[in-house]
Amino acid sequence: MNQDPASKHELDNHANQLNDQHPDYHRSRGASPEEAQRLASQARAEAARRSGQPSPEAKPAVGRRSGTNNR
């Protein structure tokens, strides 16, 4: 029994539904489009917080560079 390989679209859709940082993850679990966007954004911010990276929604600080001696 030999099946055709999944299309790129099918593979991308499957991956998105397993990624809590993507709205399709939440949509596949019954969230409205607006709620899915909000939940995915929260998941991205939480992942950034855990990794020590700035949130994608965060704006960079102006006038100061971290890691430099500001004398």
Distance, in Å, from the CA atom of 48 to the CA atom of 42, rounded to the nearest integer, reads 10
Predicted pLDDT of residue 6: 87
From the list 35, 59, 61, 56, the residue with the least C-alpha distance to 27 is: 35
Give the range of the structural domain holding residue 29, as residue numbers without chain letter.
Answer: 19-51
Task: Give the pLDDT confidence of 39-57 residue by residue, as tens digits.
Answer: 999 999 999 999 987 666 6
In a domain, 7, yes or no: no
In a domain, 47, yes or no: yes
Instruction: Identify whether the C-beta of residue 64 lies closer than 8 Å to the C-beta of residue 70.
Output: yes
Provide the terminal-to-terminal Cα distance of the chain, rounded to the nearest Å.
Answer: 71
- Is this structure's pTM higher than 0.75? no
**Tally of domains in the chain:** 1
Instruction: Identify whether the C-beta of residue 21 lies closer than 8 Å to the C-beta of residue 15.
Output: no
Q: Within 10 Å of residue 56's Cβ, how many Cβ atoms?
A: 11
